[in-house]
Homo-oligomer: A and B are copies of this chain.
Amino acid sequence: MNKDILLQDQLKRTGLKTTRSRMAILDIMHDKDCPVTAEEIFLSLKEKEYQTNLSTVYRTLEALETADLVSRIQILNEDKKMFALNEVGHRHYLVCLECKRMVTIHGCPLENYDQHVEDETGFVILGHKLYLYGYCKECRPKRKVSGIDSSC
Q: How far is the CB of A69 from chain B (nearest CB, A)?
A: 10
Is A75 an interface residue when CB atoms closer than 8 A count as contact? yes
User: Chain B residue with minimal CB distance to A103?
Assistant: B121
Taking CB atoms and an 8 Å cut-off, the chain A residues in 119-136 that contact chain B are 121-136
| A132 to B126 CA separation, bound complex (whole angstroms) | 8
Taking CB atoms and an 8 Å cut-off, the chain A residues in 88-122 that contact chain B are 90, 94, 96-97, 103, 105, 109-110, 113-114, 116-118, 121-122
- Which of under 10, 10 to 19, 20 to 34, or 35 or more describes the interface residues of A? 35 or more
Is the pair B105, A109 in contact by a Cβ cutoff of 8 Å? Answer: no
Is A16 an interface residue when CB atoms closer than 8 A count as contact? no
Q: How far is the CB of A122 from chain B (nearest CB, A)?
A: 4
Is A65 an interface residue when CB atoms closer than 8 A count as contact? yes
Given A74-B77, A77-B74, A90-B152, does the pair A133, B125 have CB atoms closer than 8 Å? yes
Q: Which of A118, A130, A137, A140 has the most CB of B within 10 A?
A: A130
